[in-house]
Amino acid sequence: MSLIPRKDLIQVFDTVVPSRYVSRFRKAFIIDPVMGYDVAMRGRLSHYGDAERREFQAILREIRSETELLIEDIEAYFIHMAVKRTAKVPGDIAEVGVYRGGSAKIICRAKGDRPLHLFDTFEGLPRVDEIDSVWPFYEGKFSASEDLVREYLRDFSQVSIYRGIFPATGMPVQDRQFSFVNLDVDTHRSTRDCLEFFYPRMSPGGIILSHDYVNTPGVRKAFDEFFLEKPEPVLETAASQCMVAKV
Ligand SMILES: C[S@@+](CC[C@H](N)C(=O)[O-])C[C@H]1O[C@@H](n2cnc3c(N)ncnc32)[C@H](O)[C@@H]1O
Protein backbone atom coordinates (compact mmCIF):
# COMPACT_ATOMS: atom_id res chain seq x y z
CA MET A 1 0.00 0.00 0.00
CA SER A 2 1.30 3.44 -0.85
CA LEU A 3 2.05 5.84 2.00
CA ILE A 4 1.15 8.70 -0.31
CA PRO A 5 -1.22 7.36 -2.95
CA ARG A 6 -1.49 10.49 -5.15
CA LYS A 7 1.67 9.87 -7.15
CA ASP A 8 0.80 12.49 -9.76
CA LEU A 9 0.41 15.22 -7.15
CA ILE A 10 3.72 14.26 -5.56
CA GLN A 11 5.41 14.37 -8.97
CA VAL A 12 4.10 17.90 -9.61
CA PHE A 13 5.15 18.97 -6.10
CA ASP A 14 8.66 17.54 -6.56
CA THR A 15 8.97 19.24 -9.95
CA VAL A 16 8.08 22.75 -8.81
CA VAL A 17 9.63 22.75 -5.34
CA PRO A 18 13.44 22.43 -4.94
CA SER A 19 14.22 19.05 -3.38
CA ARG A 20 15.86 20.45 -0.23
CA TYR A 21 12.48 21.99 0.64
CA VAL A 22 10.74 18.72 -0.23
CA SER A 23 12.97 16.92 2.30
CA ARG A 24 12.25 19.52 4.99
CA PHE A 25 8.52 19.35 4.28
CA ARG A 26 8.49 15.57 4.54
CA LYS A 27 10.55 15.61 7.73
CA ALA A 28 8.33 18.20 9.44
CA PHE A 29 4.94 16.94 8.31
CA ILE A 30 5.40 13.24 7.57
CA ILE A 31 8.53 11.69 9.09
CA ASP A 32 8.54 13.37 12.51
CA PRO A 33 4.81 13.10 13.33
CA VAL A 34 4.00 9.83 11.53
CA MET A 35 7.18 7.77 11.85
CA GLY A 36 8.37 9.13 15.18
CA TYR A 37 11.22 11.04 16.79
CA ASP A 38 13.64 8.12 16.97
CA VAL A 39 13.40 7.40 13.27
CA ALA A 40 13.67 11.06 12.33
CA MET A 41 16.82 11.51 14.43
CA ARG A 42 18.55 8.29 13.47
CA GLY A 43 20.93 9.84 10.97
CA ARG A 44 23.21 11.60 13.43
CA LEU A 45 26.78 10.37 13.59
CA SER A 46 28.29 10.44 17.09
CA HIS A 47 32.09 10.65 17.09
CA TYR A 48 32.80 9.43 20.65
CA GLY A 49 36.06 11.37 20.42
CA ASP A 50 37.31 9.15 17.59
CA ALA A 51 39.67 11.01 15.26
CA GLU A 52 38.54 9.27 12.04
CA ARG A 53 34.89 10.08 12.74
CA ARG A 54 35.68 13.71 13.56
CA GLU A 55 37.64 14.04 10.35
CA PHE A 56 34.80 12.43 8.41
CA GLN A 57 32.26 14.84 9.92
CA ALA A 58 34.28 17.73 8.47
CA ILE A 59 34.43 16.03 5.04
CA LEU A 60 30.67 15.44 5.15
CA ARG A 61 29.93 19.06 6.07
CA GLU A 62 32.00 20.11 3.07
CA ILE A 63 30.21 17.71 0.69
CA ARG A 64 26.76 18.74 1.95
CA SER A 65 27.66 22.38 1.33
CA GLU A 66 28.71 21.57 -2.26
CA THR A 67 25.91 19.29 -3.44
CA GLU A 68 22.68 17.58 -2.52
CA LEU A 69 23.44 14.26 -0.82
CA LEU A 70 20.42 11.97 -0.41
CA ILE A 71 21.68 9.90 2.52
CA GLU A 72 21.92 10.39 6.26
CA ASP A 73 25.18 11.12 8.09
CA ILE A 74 25.42 7.64 9.56
CA GLU A 75 24.87 6.10 6.11
CA ALA A 76 27.53 8.33 4.62
CA TYR A 77 29.94 7.13 7.30
CA PHE A 78 29.15 3.51 6.48
CA ILE A 79 30.18 4.13 2.87
CA HIS A 80 33.38 5.86 4.00
CA MET A 81 34.22 3.01 6.37
CA ALA A 82 33.47 0.28 3.83
CA VAL A 83 35.79 1.94 1.30
CA LYS A 84 38.59 2.27 3.87
CA ARG A 85 38.26 -1.23 5.32
CA THR A 86 38.16 -2.95 1.91
CA ALA A 87 41.50 -1.40 0.91
CA LYS A 88 43.11 -4.78 1.62
CA VAL A 89 40.64 -6.61 -0.65
CA PRO A 90 41.73 -6.91 -4.30
CA GLY A 91 39.48 -5.24 -6.85
CA ASP A 92 37.91 -2.03 -8.09
CA ILE A 93 35.10 0.01 -6.56
CA ALA A 94 31.72 0.66 -8.22
CA GLU A 95 28.65 2.70 -7.48
CA VAL A 96 25.29 2.44 -9.23
CA GLY A 97 23.03 5.40 -8.41
CA VAL A 98 25.24 8.49 -8.53
CA TYR A 99 22.70 11.32 -8.87
CA ARG A 100 24.69 14.53 -8.21
CA GLY A 101 27.86 12.75 -7.12
CA GLY A 102 27.62 13.27 -3.34
CA SER A 103 28.10 9.64 -2.31
CA ALA A 104 30.67 9.23 -5.12
CA LYS A 105 32.67 12.06 -3.56
CA ILE A 106 32.63 10.27 -0.20
CA ILE A 107 34.10 7.25 -1.98
CA CYS A 108 36.66 9.38 -3.82
CA ARG A 109 37.88 10.97 -0.58
CA ALA A 110 38.51 7.52 0.93
CA LYS A 111 39.58 5.34 -1.99
CA GLY A 112 43.23 6.29 -2.56
CA ASP A 113 44.25 5.18 -6.06
CA ARG A 114 41.74 2.35 -6.45
CA PRO A 115 39.73 2.55 -9.69
CA LEU A 116 36.13 3.74 -9.23
CA HIS A 117 33.37 3.01 -11.78
CA LEU A 118 30.25 5.17 -11.55
CA PHE A 119 26.99 4.17 -13.26
CA ASP A 120 23.84 6.25 -13.67
CA THR A 121 21.23 6.94 -16.31
CA PHE A 122 21.53 10.65 -15.44
CA GLU A 123 17.91 10.66 -16.59
CA GLY A 124 16.58 9.44 -13.27
CA LEU A 125 14.94 6.16 -12.31
CA PRO A 126 14.53 3.99 -15.42
CA ARG A 127 11.48 1.96 -14.41
CA VAL A 128 9.23 1.93 -11.37
CA ASP A 129 7.01 -1.07 -10.55
CA GLU A 130 4.13 -1.35 -8.12
CA ILE A 131 6.40 -2.71 -5.38
CA ASP A 132 8.50 0.46 -5.55
CA SER A 133 5.60 2.88 -5.22
CA VAL A 134 5.55 2.95 -1.40
CA TRP A 135 7.70 6.05 -1.76
CA PRO A 136 6.83 8.69 -4.31
CA PHE A 137 9.16 7.19 -6.92
CA TYR A 138 8.41 7.64 -10.60
CA GLU A 139 10.27 7.15 -13.85
CA GLY A 140 12.70 10.03 -14.34
CA LYS A 141 12.91 10.98 -10.66
CA PHE A 142 16.46 12.02 -9.60
CA SER A 143 17.62 13.06 -13.06
CA ALA A 144 20.94 14.89 -12.82
CA SER A 145 23.63 16.43 -15.02
CA GLU A 146 26.43 14.07 -16.04
CA ASP A 147 28.60 17.07 -16.94
CA LEU A 148 28.24 18.56 -13.47
CA VAL A 149 29.17 15.23 -11.86
CA ARG A 150 32.26 14.97 -14.10
CA GLU A 151 33.21 18.52 -13.14
CA TYR A 152 32.54 17.87 -9.45
CA LEU A 153 34.85 14.82 -9.36
CA ARG A 154 37.48 16.09 -11.78
CA ASP A 155 40.27 16.29 -9.18
CA PHE A 156 40.17 12.56 -8.45
CA SER A 157 42.13 10.02 -10.49
CA GLN A 158 40.94 6.65 -11.77
CA VAL A 159 37.26 7.65 -11.88
CA SER A 160 35.16 6.41 -14.84
CA ILE A 161 31.57 7.46 -15.47
CA TYR A 162 29.14 5.38 -17.55
CA ARG A 163 25.84 6.82 -18.69
CA GLY A 164 22.77 4.68 -19.31
CA ILE A 165 20.71 1.94 -17.76
CA PHE A 166 22.78 -0.57 -15.79
CA PRO A 167 23.58 -3.46 -16.43
CA ALA A 168 23.56 -2.64 -20.17
CA THR A 169 26.39 -0.18 -19.37
CA GLY A 170 28.40 -2.82 -17.48
CA MET A 171 30.29 -4.19 -20.51
CA PRO A 172 33.50 -2.16 -19.91
CA VAL A 173 33.87 -3.68 -16.43
CA GLN A 174 32.67 -7.20 -17.08
CA ASP A 175 36.18 -8.62 -16.62
CA ARG A 176 36.96 -6.67 -13.44
CA GLN A 177 36.88 -7.90 -9.84
CA PHE A 178 35.37 -5.67 -7.13
CA SER A 179 36.27 -4.98 -3.51
CA PHE A 180 33.40 -2.59 -2.76
CA VAL A 181 30.10 -1.83 -4.49
CA ASN A 182 27.68 0.87 -3.34
CA LEU A 183 24.11 0.51 -4.60
CA ASP A 184 21.58 3.33 -4.38
CA VAL A 185 19.08 2.61 -7.14
CA ASP A 186 15.77 2.65 -5.20
CA THR A 187 13.87 0.04 -7.20
CA HIS A 188 13.46 -3.75 -7.19
CA ARG A 189 14.42 -4.32 -10.81
CA SER A 190 17.58 -2.19 -10.67
CA THR A 191 18.71 -3.71 -7.37
CA ARG A 192 18.18 -7.27 -8.64
CA ASP A 193 20.08 -6.50 -11.87
CA CYS A 194 22.99 -5.00 -9.91
CA LEU A 195 23.24 -8.01 -7.60
CA GLU A 196 23.23 -10.42 -10.54
CA PHE A 197 26.04 -8.48 -12.18
CA PHE A 198 28.28 -7.74 -9.20
CA TYR A 199 27.93 -10.76 -6.90
CA PRO A 200 29.97 -13.15 -9.12
CA ARG A 201 32.58 -10.41 -9.60
CA MET A 202 33.14 -9.67 -5.89
CA SER A 203 36.49 -10.72 -4.40
CA PRO A 204 36.28 -12.76 -1.17
CA GLY A 205 35.90 -10.20 1.63
CA GLY A 206 34.46 -7.65 -0.79
CA ILE A 207 31.43 -5.70 0.41
CA ILE A 208 28.15 -4.84 -1.32
CA LEU A 209 26.35 -2.02 0.49
CA SER A 210 22.88 -0.81 -0.46
CA HIS A 211 20.84 2.18 0.56
CA ASP A 212 17.10 1.84 1.35
CA TYR A 213 16.94 -1.84 2.34
CA VAL A 214 14.88 -1.12 5.44
CA ASN A 215 12.40 1.38 4.02
CA THR A 216 11.95 0.30 0.39
CA PRO A 217 10.21 -3.07 -0.18
CA GLY A 218 11.59 -3.55 -3.70
CA VAL A 219 15.19 -3.23 -2.53
CA ARG A 220 14.59 -5.55 0.43
CA LYS A 221 12.88 -8.16 -1.75
CA ALA A 222 15.71 -8.10 -4.28
CA PHE A 223 18.33 -8.74 -1.55
CA ASP A 224 16.31 -11.29 0.40
CA GLU A 225 15.46 -13.33 -2.69
CA PHE A 226 18.94 -13.13 -4.19
CA PHE A 227 20.72 -14.25 -1.01
CA LEU A 228 18.14 -16.85 0.08
CA GLU A 229 20.23 -19.78 -1.21
CA LYS A 230 23.64 -18.13 -0.82
CA PRO A 231 25.97 -18.46 2.19
CA GLU A 232 26.28 -14.73 2.92
CA PRO A 233 23.90 -13.17 5.46
CA VAL A 234 22.26 -9.84 4.57
CA LEU A 235 23.12 -7.54 7.46
CA GLU A 236 20.79 -4.62 8.12
CA THR A 237 22.57 -1.51 9.42
CA ALA A 238 21.22 0.84 12.11
CA ALA A 239 20.12 3.22 9.35
CA SER A 240 18.35 2.20 6.11
CA GLN A 241 21.20 0.28 4.49
CA CYS A 242 22.11 -3.38 4.27
CA MET A 243 25.48 -4.93 3.61
CA VAL A 244 26.84 -8.28 2.45
CA ALA A 245 30.46 -9.45 2.65
CA LYS A 246 31.35 -12.02 -0.02
CA VAL A 247 32.54 -15.32 1.40
C1 LIG B 1 18.59 8.21 -4.93
S2 LIG B 1 19.51 8.50 -6.37
C3 LIG B 1 21.19 8.23 -5.86
C4 LIG B 1 21.64 9.20 -4.77
C5 LIG B 1 23.13 9.25 -4.52
N6 LIG B 1 23.72 7.96 -4.29
C7 LIG B 1 23.38 10.15 -3.31
O8 LIG B 1 23.65 9.63 -2.23
O9 LIG B 1 23.27 11.35 -3.45
C10 LIG B 1 19.15 7.08 -7.32
C11 LIG B 1 19.85 7.07 -8.65
O12 LIG B 1 19.80 5.75 -9.19
C13 LIG B 1 19.83 5.86 -10.61
N14 LIG B 1 19.41 4.55 -11.15
C15 LIG B 1 18.40 3.76 -10.73
N16 LIG B 1 18.36 2.61 -11.44
C17 LIG B 1 19.40 2.68 -12.33
C18 LIG B 1 19.91 1.79 -13.34
N19 LIG B 1 19.34 0.58 -13.58
N20 LIG B 1 20.98 2.19 -14.06
C21 LIG B 1 21.57 3.38 -13.84
N22 LIG B 1 21.14 4.26 -12.90
C23 LIG B 1 20.06 3.91 -12.15
C24 LIG B 1 18.92 7.04 -10.88
O25 LIG B 1 19.19 7.63 -12.14
C26 LIG B 1 19.24 7.98 -9.71
O27 LIG B 1 20.20 8.94 -10.07
Query: Which of 183, 185, 216 has most ligand 1 atoms within 8 Å of CB, for mutation?
Result: 185
CATH number at residue 224: 3.40.50.150
Of the two residues 134 and 132, the one the predictor is more confident about is: 132
Domain contains 37: no
Domain contains 196: yes
Ligand 1 atom at minimal distance to the Cα of residue 68: 9
Residues 146 and 121: their CA atoms lie apart, in Å, by 9
Ligand 1 atom at minimal distance to the Cα of residue 95: 6
Q: Which domain holds residue 165?
A: 42-245
| pLDDT of res. 45 | 86
Query: Which of 99, 118, 129 has most ligand 1 atoms within 8 Å of CB, for mutation?
Result: 99
Of the two residues 184 and 12, the one the predictor is more confident about is: 184
Residue 124 DSSP one-character state: -
What separation, in Å, do the N-terminal and C-terminal C-alpha atoms of the chain show? 36
Q: Is 137 in the pocket of ligand 1 (CB under 6 A)?
A: no
| pLDDT of res. 33 | 62
Residues 247 and 231: their CA atoms lie apart, in Å, by 7
- The yes-or-no verdict on residue 1 having pLDDT over 60 is no
Domain contains 186: yes
| pLDDT of res. 15 | 67
Ligand 1 atom at minimal distance to the Cα of residue 166: 20
- Tens digits of residue pLDDT in 21-61: 666 676 667 655 665 444 444 468 889 999 999 999 999 99
Residue 183 DSSP one-character state: E
pTM above 0.75, yes or no: yes
Q: How many domains does the chain have?
A: 1
Average pLDDT of the chain is 90
Domain contains 134: yes
The alpha carbon of 48 and the centre of ligand 1 are apart by a number of angstroms equal to: 32
Q: Is 190 in the pocket of ligand 1 (CB under 6 A)?
A: yes
Residues 109 and 30: their CA atoms lie apart, in Å, by 34
- Tens digits of residue pLDDT in 73-130: 999 999 999 999 999 999 999 999 999 999 999 999 999 999 999 999 999 999 999 9
Domain contains 101: yes
Torsion (CA) 164, 169, 170, 171 in degrees, nearest 10: -170
Q: Is 58 helix (H, G, I), strand (E, B) or coil?
A: helix
| pLDDT of res. 41 | 44
Of the two residues 222 and 18, the one the predictor is more confident about is: 222
Greatest distance between any 2 Cα atoms in the chain: 49
Percent of residues, the chain, with pLDDT higher than 90: 78
The alpha carbon of 133 and the centre of ligand 1 are apart by a number of angstroms equal to: 16
Domain contains 109: yes
The alpha carbon of 50 and the centre of ligand 1 are apart by a number of angstroms equal to: 32
Domain contains 179: yes
Q: Is 125 in the pocket of ligand 1 (CB under 6 A)?
A: yes
Domain contains 10: no
| pLDDT of res. 14 | 66
